[in-house]
Amino acid sequence: MSINFMGMLMAAVLAGAPLLFGVLGEILTEKSGNLNLGVEGMMFMGGVAGLAGSFYYEQSAADPSAVVSALLAMGCAFLCAAFGAFIYSVLTITLRANQNVTGLALTIFGTGFGNFFGEAIGNSTASHYMAVGDVTKAVFNSGIPVLRDLPVVGQLLFSYNFMVYLALAVAGVMAWFFSRTRAGLNLHAVGESPATADAAGINVTRYKYLSTCLGGGICGLGGLYVVMNSASGVGGVWVYNCMNGKGWIAVALVIFATWSPARALLGSLVFGALSIMRFYVPLGIPAQIYDIFPYIATVMVLIAVSLRKKRENQPPESLGLAYFREER
Amino acid sequence: MEPSNAIELKDITKTFGEVVANDKISLTVRRGEILSLLGENGSGKTTLMNMLSGIYFPDSGQIFVGGKEVTIRSPRDAYELGIGMIHQHFKLVDVLTAAENIILGLPGKGPLDRKAIATEISRISRKYGFEIDPNRKIYEMAVSEKQTVEIVKVLYRGADILILDEPTAVLTPQETEKLFSVLRNMKADGKAIIIITHKLHEVMEVSDRVAVLRKGAYIGTVDTDQTDPLKLTEMMVGRSVSLNIDRPEPKEPVDRLRVEDLTCVNDEGVTVLDHVSFTARGGEILGVAGIAGSGQKELCEAVAGLQPVTGHIRYFPSEDGTAASAEGIELVGRDPMAIRQLGISLAFVPEDRLGMGLVAGMGMTDNMMLRSYRRGHPFLADRKPPRELAETIIRELEVVTPDVSTPVRRLSGGNVQKVLVGREIASGPSVLMAAYPVRGLDINSSYIIYHLLNKQKQRGVAVLYVGEDLDVLLELCDRILVLCGGKVSGVADGRTATKEQIGLMMTRTDAEGRNGHGA
């Protein structure tokens, strides 16, 4: 049995990148004390909106440009998912609704939203699919020009699509933001103890809204990635139920990463590898068993994490709780 | 207007729903003085101060700072006016370091310069005589260190008006002395200091003037050197009260509970009780003193069967039982229900008042039933006896409640505590454990509770009183068990020991105290 490690690693990166967006978005959200279980829903919203953005641009432009199409797709994906997070924010921050229930509702809403528009727009075309052209598809599926042609390292490091590098950059920026900036410190305090942050003169509501909406937008980019990338077979076309639980794995990975962007990289890579394992590690077992691996790993991770006791690895203390200054 | 007035409040009113927390309060604080704000629980002290620090917004009235009328809408506004408040429940983020907590929320350009911040913190610490390590995490700190961080945090923001809400409630006498000397340094530096406290002797010791509130209304301000505790109490309560706590002589105390080598390791692997041994006697109040978190909670829970422990807790049921069963009944390993049926009652009042004793959303009747529902019909619930008990408690303990079915959450702290203690006493226990039963209660309610405990003592009950106010412990208890870091550092005689002795024992472990029940 020979395993193509190089190929597996590259495939794992491609499969892990959408998870990484989801994890990073949710880490940013949870740092503010908001537990948004709507990651899956926001990924659906971002995915369908981004695809629709490119789709309509290509329809209307005589000679569609790849860059414009990609930017439009990202903008639409980010804004639509951030809008989902905004609904969540209004309900949980301003109206102080229960965060779990609101997040679950957002997942159900987003899933329906994505599938409805994905199918409806598709049905209005001749092919019955909402699909973008080769121009857009190419930009979401090709590596860095010139660099990717370098021997050895070119393939390993520079052959991925630009969103993979974007995800890495987001992780880097978030890690720097949390540890080196005043705003990052303030956000940490908001999530740990909003009353303390408030008494220290921090605008708790603004921090919660901003980080939740930005976090939602980042999750939406993950959704766009899933829709556009063709590593899993088809890309650039709406497939019914395409998120398929990736948002939930992202939520679990946040715990695995113990709210650290750096560890989120590792977690996403491991889970990406698990999800493509069956193509690279033939064990002679049914494909369905392979499909279970990521979920089994999630359960194991949750158990392992709950056994760790270090204070710094605990969730933000006020996670899941609404804050009201004059509460007595 | 005199320029020496740091703060002037005029006709401040604040209501919560129908409750008037502050009713037209006018008050002045001068620069370079320490003003004590005195009042019973629910008299509106904290509410008033929260309006100065921007947590609440007054319904009406004016606030002048340094002679100018101001509007304080948020804590940030308060900081900009130089007002800093040290809250009773510290507002610190546990997982951050002292330095990080201190600079929290402050504006500043560019990335954090941790070195410069640390330098500034040590400069402030030296100036007023603090000791602080900027790089330690809050959760690794003792209570008094946390308080220091809070004070430095306020000073770092350039506050020259400091408000301290019950700062000494969690400190040992030695730590309190240290705090007071820091406060005096600040006063000499020209800062205005407001200190909220229940403890009259501290008021007399540290303050220049005393302002008294009663039931949300302003009663008056007096110079400290022209008053005494008795007069202040009268102002506070509105009538004269005796400040002495009765301590009847114990009648033929017999060993009721013998604890030997009790050790308890908590979930986090920390040893919270370390070979604790002592004896509790019937007809006697045994005080348990110690800094918060020294193992008091675990000790009570261990006796009640709620904590897994090693060691022995031997229980001697009745007066003549000592002869009949020299070994006693082993409680370790029994479940809480079995222990309760032996007559051991835990009136435990944890940090959050409603935590372990009562169900907040249920009325008094249903809360009474929590103890008695096993009696009577196995399937149907009979609410009559518990309702009668609830009514008795309301009558005898003067509980203020609209009716027996009002959720206990809506009652004030003092009334909640009366309901809890009343129910535990009604079960006719032979061991009664009361942890912080007067925490947050005003003088009147506290005395009712002390009286109830004394009555139980005279009935021959072994009373375990876990307290934080050493003055009360010394007046109420026959013997005082002192815990330090989960170890017994000694047992003192309540009649002869001094506060300083107990305070010292609270901070260091005395090996001799190990084997127990001296004094």
List pLDDT tens digits, range B247-267: 888 877 888 888 999 999 887
Tokens of B386: 């518990």
Chain A residue with Cα closest to B410: A328
Q: Are B384 and B376 contacting, i.e. CB atoms less than 8 angstroms apart?
A: no
pLDDT in tens, B357-374: 788 788 888 888 887 776
Find the closest chain A residue to B270 by CA distance.
Answer: A309
So what's the pLDDT on residue B270? 81
Residues β-bridged to residue B85: B163
CB A247 within 8 A of CB A221: no
Confidence at B512, pLDDT banded by 50, 70, 90 = very low
Chain B residues close to A309, C-beta within 8 Å: 267-269
Q: How far is B405 from chain A (nearest CA, A)?
A: 22
Place of tokens 């013998």: B258
Of A181, A192, A197, the CB nearest to B105: A197
pLDDT in tens, A192-241: 999 899 888 899 999 999 999 999 999 999 999 999 987 777 888 999 99
Q: By the 8 A CB rule, do B471 and B199 touch?
A: yes
What pLDDT was estimated at residue B326? 64
The answer to whether A129 and A63 have CB atoms below 8 angstroms apart is: no
Candidate from A200, A311, A325 with C-beta closest to B104: A200
Mean pLDDT, rounded, for B442-471: 85
Tokens 């809250």 -> residue:
B87
Own/partner contacts of B298-301, CB < 8 Å, gap of 24 or more, are B298/B264, B298/B266, B298/B272, B298/B273, B298/B486, B299/B262, B299/B273, B299/B466, B299/B483, B300/B346, B300/B348, B300/B433, B300/B435, B300/B464, B300/B466, B301/B346, B301/B348
Cβ contacts of B346 within 8 Å, gap of 6 or more: B300, B301, B303, B304, B306, B424, B433
Nearest to B56 among A311, A314, A326 (CB): A326
- Amino acid B518: pLDDT: 39
Average pLDDT over residues B25-47: 88
Min Cα distance B94 → chain A (Å) is 8
What is the pLDDT, as a whole number, of residue B517?
41
Helices B413-426 and B443-458, interaxial angle, to 10°? 10
pLDDT (average), residues A61-78: 94
Task: Locate the chain B residue with the closest alpha carbon to A190.
Answer: B93
**Which amino acid makes up residue B263?**
T
Residue B116 phi, psi (nearest 5): -60, -40
For CA atoms A307, A313, A315, A318, give the dihedral sign: positive
The pLDDT value recorded for residue B101 is: 92
- C-alpha–C-alpha distance, residues B173 and B190, integer Å: 26
**Whether pTM exceeds 0.90:** no
In 3D space, the residue among B338, B344, B405 whose CA is nearest the CA of residue B374 turns out to be B338
Residue B1 has pLDDT above 60, yes or no: no
Q: Does A196 touch chain B (CB under 8 A)?
A: yes
Contact A311 B93 (CB under 8 A): no
pLDDT beyond 80 at B515: no
Q: Cβ contacts (< 8 Å) between A198 and chain B: which residues?
A: 55, 74-75
Model confidence over B388-411: pLDDT tens digits?
888 888 888 778 778 888 888 777
Q: Which residues have C-beta within 8 Å of that of residue B403, sequence separation ≥ 6?
A: B363
In this prediction, residue B16 carries a pLDDT of 81
Do A199 and B103 lie within an 8 Å CB cutoff? no
Residue % of chain B over a pLDDT of 70: 92
Confidence (pLDDT) at B105: 84
Total Cβ atoms within 10 A of residue A176: 13
- pLDDT at B442 > cutoff 80: no
Residue B331 gets which letter from DSSP?
-
Q: What is the pLDDT of residue B349?
A: 57
User: Of the candidates B92, B95, B269, which has its C-beta nearest A311's C-beta?
Assistant: B95
Q: Which residues of B touch A306 (CB under 8 A)?
A: none
Q: Establish if A63 touches chain B: CB-CB under 8 angstroms.
A: no
Q: Say which residues have a Cβ less than 8 Å from residue B71's Cβ, sequence separation at least 6.
A: B63, B77
Mean pLDDT over B124-140 rounds to 87
For residue B162, list chain A residues with Cβ-Cβ distance below 8 A.
none
Percent above pLDDT 90 for chain A: 62
Q: Stretch A161-182: mean pLDDT, rounded?
A: 94
B92 at A interface, C-beta within 8 A: yes
B355 at A interface, C-beta within 8 A: no
Is pLDDT above 50 for B516? no
User: Which chain B residue's Cα is nearest to A202?
Assistant: B105
Distance from CA of B33 to the nearest CA of A (A): 25
- Give me the interface pTM, i.e. the ipTM: 0.83
pLDDT of residue A122: 92
Question: Which of the residue ranges A71-75, B11-15, B295-299, B375-379 has the most confident prediction, judged by mean pLDDT?
Answer: A71-75
Tens of pLDDT, residues B202-250: 889 999 999 999 888 999 999 999 998 888 888 888 877 777 788 888 8
CB atoms within 10 A of CB A33: 31
Q: Are B239 and B446 in contact (CB under 8 A)?
A: no
Q: Does B158 touch chain A (CB under 8 A)?
A: no
Q: How confident is the model at residue B350 (pLDDT cuts 50, 70, 90)?
A: low
Confidence (pLDDT) at B208: 94
- For an interface test with B, the pick among A182, A205, A307 (most B C-beta atoms closer than 10 Å) comes out as A182
Query: If residue A154 lies in a helix (H) or strand (E), which one and from where to where?
Result: helix A153-158
Q: Which pLDDT score is estimated for B140? A: 85
Q: Identify the residue among B91, B100, B410 best suited for mutation to test binding to A, counting A beta carbons within 10 A and taking the highest.
A: B91
Q: Whole-number mean pLDDT of chain A?
A: 90
Q: Looking at residue B319, what is its pLDDT?
A: 54
Q: Tell me, yes or no, if B215 comes closer than 8 A to chain A by beta carbon.
A: no
Over range B109-137, report the average pLDDT: 85
So what's the pLDDT on residue B415? 78
> B154 CB near a chain A CB, below 8 Å?
no
Confidence class for position A32, pLDDT limits 50, 70, 90: very high
Tell me: pLDDT of B497 over 70.
yes
Q: Quick one: DSSP state of residue A92?
A: I
Q: By CA distance, what is B95's nearest residue in A? A: A312
Q: Inter-chain contact B85–A199, Cβ cutoff 8 Å?
A: yes
- Residues A270-277 have a mean pLDDT of 90
